[in-house]
Amino acid sequence: MKLFKIRGGVHPDDRKRLASEQPIETLPLPDLLHIPLQQHIGAPASPAVRRGQRVAKGELLAHGQGVISAPVHAPTSGRIMGVGQYPAHHASGLSVPTITLKPDGEDRWADHIQGVEDPFALAPEEIAARVAAAGIVGLGGATFPSAVKLDLRKRYAVHTLVINGAECEPYLTCDDRLMRERAESVIDGIRLMARALGVSRIVIGIEDNKPEAQAAMAVAASIDPDIRIARLPTRYPMGSEKHLVQTLTGRETPARGLTADIGVVVHNPATAFAVHEALRLGHPLVARVVTVSGGAIARPANVRVPLGTRVQDLIAHCGGFKDEPARLISGGPMMGQPLPSTRVPMVKGSNGVLALTAAEINGGTPRPCIRCAGCVQACPCGLVPLEMVAHIRAGDLEGAVKRGLMDCIGCGSCAYVCPGHIPLVQYLNHAKGEMAARGRAKQKQTETKRLAEQRTARMEAIKRAKREQMEQRKREMAARKKAEAAAAAQQATAAEPVAAETEA
Amino acid sequence: MPIETPAAQCGPFAHDTVGIPRTMGLVMLALVPATLFGLWQFGWPAIWLFLATLAGALLAEILSLWFAGKPIRPDLSDGTALLTGWLLAMTLPPWAPWWIGVVGALLAIVVAKQVFGGVGQNLFNPAMVARVALLIAFPLEMTSFVAPTPLFSAEAPGLVESLAITFGGQGFDAFSGATVLGQVRTELGQGETLATILPDLYAPLSGAVGTVAGSLGETSALLLLLGGLFLLYKRVITWHIPVALLGTIAVLAALMHLIDPEHYAGPLYHLVSGATLLGAFFIATDPVTSPVSARGQLLFGAGCGLLIYVIRTWAGYPEGVAFAVLLMNACAPLIDHYVKPRIYGRDRRGQPLEYANDVETSR
């Protein structure tokens, strides 16, 4: 298959070897699970259980609210300990609404859980509806509710389903292992997604540092002539949706657009696997495969983890720390989030937990920019990070926006290559956050202004109405007076002839 | 057993192994062959001048930082001041008195670098600012060149004698002369034709190897080319500036030579003489003072090449690299303003691309 070149990108040490040969293990049930209500982009789910309630595995814990949302299900059977606040799987570590579940150890599925005999006989809408009900979100890390993406054919002319098996972040191997070990299930899920989307073109892109995954997927895909497997060059950020689609089709997604604008919908292999389980077995999304790795982890592994498991339980399963971790990260080292503590729970979007040593991070003290243009060469979006950051440092956020700040995908290639160790991403993120806050403030301001204007207009209208009423009344009074005067005059003139007559 | 890790900070949590000191170190490493050749060929006076210039640069950096109240160690250890001194020394007449090197280094570091705000802030290439200032202020000292007298050869001055040349203020009239570029200029001005001048002065081979009169580190075109290729291989520089610069000179020289071979020398002459190769690989590629985008760099390199050729051929100075680079340094911000990479998903004017939705993609 012909591939197209994308610009920029970097070649970080891949360090996948740490975990890539570790088969997927299943984590023994921890003694407590903390399941946040929001594990997806969009509106948070609203709780459907009470404290003390007993639940079976797969039972609904919280329903999705609104168009872009996803329900949350019980990862195992047990008793609800509370619906309260617990530290989030997020850099801030702030507490968020979370359901705490105490497993009873039986791991018993709810009675209603059952799969569909022949899911390919289902209508496309029905597949999407079941995916929605199973709480499946994009498992590559972005956590966009998958069913919404499976419904895109309603608004876009979708012709191709692309499966993002690039997995370009260093260390991460969970998709690699899943494709190697469960290729048939993944392919089944992919075909179901293609059916929901109504497309017959399916391209699975896999970076060429995963030959085993390519081979396994090729064997499993041989049942469907519509599926093609593309060997992608290993280059970060190949897994960026728009860049992947460009590599495969040569088409660039217009700025501010979606890949659906050029007819392509992208899903992740782990999402496909979840779709397979949801349709064939009726299992909602209650567990996922996570790569636990990094130089500070005693035994790097790929583990299938019940959602809500605390990071500390997962790390303990992997032998704990053998070295002092300088950073604990959720996701890959390039775009992952630092985790403030090992207490936080695993969520649908967490594809990796990395404990990195200081040596692996290879940090340095920031030095002045020498305009080496390394960041310009590395940027896959054609931006000039050094210039944007100079503007941000000078407080000129508008200048940064004018130079494409909002087109930045935050991949971190620029900061990775910067010889001056300048935290470029931090500056860019700060500016993006500030612009978003300004946007909200401005929106609020215009809203306030609009309301004030409406009020003024209303008052004016009332005043005008009153004035008009007054004038109307005045006019009426004047008219009445006039009429009376006229009537009086008429009476007088009418009386006159009489008088005249009488005179005559 | 919950552990707490340091306060939130965003990624990436991996970093390439490059650093500014390493980059500067690689550039200096690339300069080593040409420098050693120059030092060998011009003997002890050149060695003293070289050391005096480096010491001057380091001293100037320390003094400037100290006066500015900045920490000295991080800036001094990044290697930028040392490299500036080194590059300046490469462009000096090898037997120039010590104070030429030291004054030049002071000019480069204090006037051209630190007053702009230090590393990364200067608009002009410090070494070239210093060289041009010296050329204007001390034309005699800056244009007195010696014929090569390799170390340990019969004509070479000894250790003591060379101390007198560099530090003692003794002239060396017996040896002084001009470079090939200067000589050719003068004689062309006197109405001679290239056919009569060149064969006496210039053999492409010695020009390439470097056994000719010239600045301390500029004579060996081949060794400079070797260093340049090393920098390309190590990805310290990209090909854009050198190729555009050398290509422009070569094309212009070829064109003019075709039109009037009597008065215009061919491409090879221009490529191997003077500071062309040093300029193409080590001077014009200075990241701080050149544009950041690939297309901008092509434009910048071509501009340097054009100016070098024009200055050498028609202007008042035989050597054009320093002037050309400085003039283009002044244009670099303008180039960066107008020539930017195309943003993903947008056209060159910054408007979002047209939506194109059809199934026609490669099979």
Beta-carbon contacts of residue B36 (< 8 Å; ≥ 6 apart): none
Query: Shortest CB distance from B12 goes to which of A320, A342, A412?
Result: A412
- Is the model's pLDDT at B5 over the cut of 60? no
Please give the residue of chain B at the shortest CA–CA distance from A333: B13
Mean pLDDT score, A342-352: 95
- With beta carbons under 8 A apart, name residues in chain B contacting A229: none
Please give the residue of chain A at the shortest CA–CA distance from B296: A373
- Is the model's pLDDT at B90 over the cut of 50? yes
Nearest Cα to Cα of residue A119 among A195, A46, A182, A64:
A195
Phi/psi class of residue A256: alpha, beta or left (left: φ > 0; alpha: ψ in -120 to 50)?
A: left
Can you name the residues that pair with A63 across neighbouring β-strands? A46
Q: What percent of chain A has pLDDT over 90?
A: 85
* pLDDT of A154: 85
Query: Shortest CB distance from A384 goes to which of B8, B292, B358?
Result: B292
**Interchain contact, B23 vs A419, CB within 8 Å:** yes
Lowest average pLDDT, out of A324-333, A382-391, B86-95, B189-198, goes to B189-198
- With beta carbons under 8 A apart, name residues in chain A contacting B23: 372, 419
Range A241-244, long-range pairs (CB < 8 A, 24+ positions): A241/A164, A241/A266, A242/A409, A242/B344, A242/B345, A243/A6, A243/A9, A243/A380, A243/B344, A244/A162, A244/A164, A244/A166, A244/A205
* pLDDT of A496: 58
A283-A306-A333 Cα angle (round to 5): 120
Tell me A280's DSSP state: I
Per-residue pLDDT reduced to its tens digit, B126-140: 999 999 999 999 988
Per-residue pLDDT reduced to its tens digit, B201-247: 667 777 788 888 889 999 899 999 999 999 999 999 999 999 999 99
* pLDDT of B2: 45
Q: Is the CB of residue A170 less than 8 Å away from at least one CB of chain B?
A: yes
The predicted model scores a pTM of 0.87
Mean pLDDT score, B26-52: 95
If contacts are CB pairs under 8 Å, which of residues 186-215 in chain B contact chain A?
A: none
Binding site residue list of A for [4Fe-4S] cluster:
369, 372, 375, 379, 408, 411, 414, 418
* pLDDT of B310: 95
List the structure tokens of A484.
């009376």
- Is the model's pLDDT at B6 over the cut of 50? no
The structural domains of chain B, with segments of one domain joined by +, span 20-338
| Min distance A29 CA to chain B CA atoms (Å) | 18
- Is the model's pLDDT at B8 over the cut of 50? no
- Is the model's pLDDT at A359 over the cut of 80? yes
Tell me A120's DSSP state: G
Q: Is the CB of residue B251 less than 8 Å away from at least one CB of chain A?
A: no
Please give the residue of chain A at the shortest CA–CA distance from B74: A367
Mean pLDDT score, A18-36: 96
Confidence grade of residue B363 (pLDDT, cut at 50, 70, 90): very low
Phi and psi at A385, nearest 5°, equal: -55, -40
Mean pLDDT score, A398-410: 94
* pLDDT of B173: 55
A339 exposure class (CB count in 10 Å sphere: 0-12, 13-18, 19+)? buried
Beta-carbon contacts of residue B71 (< 8 Å; ≥ 6 apart): B65
For strand A264-267 and strand A160-165, is the pairing parallel, antiparallel, or unpaired?
Answer: parallel
Q: Dihedral angle at the C-alpha atoms of A475, A476, A478, A484, nearest 10 degrees?
A: 160
Mean pLDDT score, A343-353: 95
* pLDDT of B208: 81
Q: How far is CA A450 from CA A433, A465, B3, B340, in A?
A: 25, 22, 50, 40
Confidence grade of residue B172 (pLDDT, cut at 50, 70, 90): low
Per-residue pLDDT reduced to its tens digit, A77-130: 999 999 999 999 988 889 999 999 999 999 999 999 999 999 999 999 999 999
Phi and psi at A422, nearest 5°, equal: -80, 130
CA dihedral (A273, A279, A281, A287) positive or negative: positive
- With beta carbons under 8 A apart, name residues in chain B contacting A374: 18
**Interchain contact, A325 vs B353, CB within 8 Å:** no
End-to-end CA distance of chain A: 123
**A122 alpha-carbon distance from chain centroid:** 27
Nearest Cα to Cα of residue B148 among B73, B39, B60, B223:
B39
Lowest average pLDDT, out of B144-153, B169-178, B259-268, B309-318, goes to B169-178
List the structure tokens of A351.
């594809």
The one-letter amino acid code at B207 reads G
- Is the model's pLDDT at A294 over the cut of 60? yes
List the structure tokens of A122.
């289902």
Lowest average pLDDT, out of A227-241, A490-504, B117-131, B319-333, goes to A490-504
| Min distance A66 CA to chain B CA atoms (Å) | 29
C-alpha A63/C-alpha B105 separation (Å) is 72
Phi and psi at A330, nearest 5°, equal: -100, 125
Pick the more confident residue, B186 or A422. Answer: A422
- With beta carbons under 8 A apart, name residues in chain A contacting B292: 371, 373, 376, 384, 386-387
Mean pLDDT score, A149-171: 93
C-alpha A312/C-alpha B242 separation (Å) is 54
| Min distance B153 CA to chain A CA atoms (Å) | 43
**Interchain contact, B353 vs A364, CB within 8 Å:** no
- Is the model's pLDDT at B81 over the cut of 90? yes
Is residue A150 within 8 Å of residue A193, measured between CB atoms? yes
Per-residue pLDDT reduced to its tens digit, B64-76: 999 999 999 888 9
* pLDDT of A19: 95
Please give the residue of chain B at the shortest CA–CA distance from A385: B292
Q: Determine the residue among B27, B234, B298, B361 to mutate to test chain A binding: the one whose Cβ has the most chain A Cβ atoms within 10 Å.
A: B361
The number of beta carbons lying within 10 Å of the beta carbon of residue B349 is: 6
* pLDDT of B200: 66
Is residue B253 within 8 Å of residue B265, measured between CB atoms? yes
CA dihedral (A363, A368, A370, A376) positive or negative: positive
Pick the more confident residue, B1 or A226. Answer: A226
Give whichever of A12-21, A293-302, A481-490 has the largest mean pLDDT: A293-302
| Core vs surface per residue B248-269: b (16+ CB within 10 A) or e | bbbebbeebbeeeeeebbbbbb
Three-class SS of A17-71: HHHHCCCEEECCCCCCEEEECCCCCCCCCEECCCCCCEECECCEEEECCCCCCCC
* pLDDT of B152: 79
Beta-carbon contacts of residue A434 (< 8 Å; ≥ 6 apart): A397
**Mean pLDDT for chain A?**
93
- Is the model's pLDDT at A493 over the cut of 80? no
Range A385-393, long-range pairs (CB < 8 A, 24+ positions): A385/A414, A385/A424, A385/A428, A386/A424, A386/B292, A387/B292, A387/B336, A388/A427, A388/A428, A388/A431, A389/A422, A389/A424, A389/A427, A389/A428, A392/A427, A392/A428, A392/A430, A392/A431, A393/A427
Mean pLDDT score, B165-181: 70
End-to-end CA distance of chain B: 54
* pLDDT of B160: 80
C-alpha B363/C-alpha B360 separation (Å) is 9
**Interchain contact, B293 vs A10, CB within 8 Å:** no
Q: Is the CB of residue A372 less than 8 Å away from at least one CB of chain B?
A: yes
- Is the model's pLDDT at A483 over the cut of 50? yes
If contacts are CB pairs under 8 Å, which of residues 105-124 in chain B contact chain A?
A: 118-121
List the structure tokens of B32.
């080593």
* pLDDT of A304: 97
Q: Is the CB of residue B285 less than 8 Å away from at least one CB of chain A?
A: no
Q: What percent of chain A has pLDDT over 70?
A: 98
Q: Which residue has the tokens 């919908």?
A: A265
- With beta carbons under 8 A apart, name residues in chain B contacting A369: 120
Confidence grade of residue B356 (pLDDT, cut at 50, 70, 90): low
Q: Is the CB of residue B348 less than 8 Å away from at least one CB of chain A?
A: no
Beta-carbon contacts of residue B354 (< 8 Å; ≥ 6 apart): A254
Q: What percent of chain B has pLDDT over 70?
A: 92
- Is the model's pLDDT at B317 over the cut of 70? yes
* pLDDT of A66: 86
Lowest average pLDDT, out of B85-99, B151-165, B302-316, goes to B151-165
* pLDDT of B211: 83
A404-A408-A413 Cα angle (round to 5): 125
Can you name the residues that pair with B176 across neighbouring β-strands? B146
Q: Is the CB of residue B339 less than 8 Å away from at least one CB of chain A?
A: no
- With beta carbons under 8 A apart, name residues in chain B contacting A416: 12, 14-16
Domains of chain A: 121-283 (3.40.50.11540), 366-476 (1.10.1060)
Phi and psi at B285, nearest 5°, equal: -85, 0
Please give the residue of chain B at the shortest CA–CA distance from A11: B16
- Is the model's pLDDT at A503 over the cut of 50? no
If contacts are CB pairs under 8 Å, which of residues 73-112 in chain A contact chain B?
A: 91-93
Three-class SS of A281-336: HCCCCCEEEEEEECCCECCCEEEEEECCCEHHHHHHHCCCECCCCCEEEECCCCCC
H or E element that contains B145: strand B145-146
Tell me B110's DSSP state: I
**How many contacts, defined by CB atoms under 8 Å, are there between A and B?**
217
Please give the residue of chain A at the shortest CA–CA distance from B297: A373
Lowest average pLDDT, out of A72-86, A133-147, A419-433, A478-492, goes to A478-492
Three-class SS of A127-193: HHHHHHHCCCECCCCCCCEHHHHHCHHHCCCCCEEEEEECCCCCCCCHHHHHHHHCHHHHHHHHHHH
Please give the residue of chain B at the shortest CA–CA distance from A200: B359
Confidence grade of residue B62 (pLDDT, cut at 50, 70, 90): very high
